[in-house]
Amino acid sequence: MRENVWFLEYRLLTWRPAGLAAAGVGAVVSLALVATLVSSHNNSTQLLTGGIELGLPLVAGGLAALPAGHDSARELQLSLPTPYRRTLLRRSILAAMWPALGMATVSIAMVTTHRWMSSAGIVGGQLTWIAPLAWSTTMCCLVTVALRSYVAALMVVSVLGGVELLIGSIFRDQSWLHPLYLPATTDTLAHSFWWSNRLDLLGTAVVAALLTGRLLRRPECLLQEDAA
């Protein structure tokens, strides 16, 4: 029966999350290819690492928060014996699954083509994408539920990604901002605090997940700011 619920939820999501994840992976790989072909200084490894460390985790975050943002049967969910937060968790996992698979595929391809940038080796280095993925998905869900607006969550993660990419020195130069810095592998100047950064990201993800669960116990969280 439980497998049926997962399968039904999977079908309800339609092809769109998979399509968005595929487009994200395609964009990252295409940019790396263009950089290889036209640029004199080869940045393809850095572009691929940035893709799995910053770009695709933010796509995963946006997709994971989508079930918390839009559900026309939300009030009906409250009357069901299954807690609403459990339904949301199941949907978020299924939605974020596709970009996570994309990141895993790109990381395997990078290892096999000797383009792996992480100084923590191949196994420990997988935190390059796992830690930002956990941080981004949980943080997006938290912002969506806390501000009652999916648009706000999408904006916060997109802007954070943009700022970290364009002016990462703000985060790199101030030690108290290290736990928020997602591209610590892509940015070679940030390798000195790589392990603490990854553990901070995972720790923040656990706290954000617990806070989201806590907020979802309050029925008034179901009223959406976006409806205005």
34 binds another protein (CB under 8 A): yes
For 148, which DSSP code? T
Q: Is 189 in the site for another protein (CB under 8 A)?
A: no
The residue among 39, 43, 50, 68 whose CA lies nearest residue 154 is 68
> Rounded to whole angstroms, how far apart are CA atoms 35 and 189?
21
Is 60 a binding residue for another protein by CB under 8 A? The answer is: no
Footprint (CB under 8 A) of another protein, residues 35-54: 35, 38-39, 41, 43
Nearer to another protein, 131 or 152 (CB): 152
Binding of residue 169 to another protein (CB under 8 A): yes
Neighbour count for residue 179 (Cβ, 10 Å): 17
Is there binding between residue 215 and another protein (CB under 8 A)? no
Lay out the site mask for another protein across 64-103 (x = CB under 8 A, - = otherwise): --x-------------------------------------
The closest alpha carbon to 67, from 57, 77, 55, belongs to 77
Smallest gap from Cβ 102 to another protein, in A, equals 13
226 binds another protein (CB under 8 A): yes
157: helix, coil or strand?
Answer: helix
Angle at 204 between CA 173 and CA 179, to 5 degrees: 10
Q: Which two tokens stand for residue 44?
A: 């393809």
Decide: residue 131, CB within 10 A, 0-12 exposed, 13-18 middle, 19+ buried.
Answer: buried
* Cβ(198)–Cβ(190) below 8 Å: no
Span interacting with another protein, options 59-67, 79-87, 124-132, 190-198, rule CB under 8 A: 59-67
Q: Return the DSSP state at 182.
A: S
Among positions 158, 191, 202, 222, the unique one binding another protein when judged by CB under 8 A: 158
- Residue 148 within binding range of another protein, rule CB under 8 A: yes
Q: Which residues lie near another protein (CB under 8 A)? A: 16, 20, 23-24, 27, 31, 34-35, 38-39, 41, 43, 55, 58-59, 62-63, 66, 147-152, 154-156, 158-159, 161-163, 165-167, 169-170, 173-174, 177, 225-226, 228
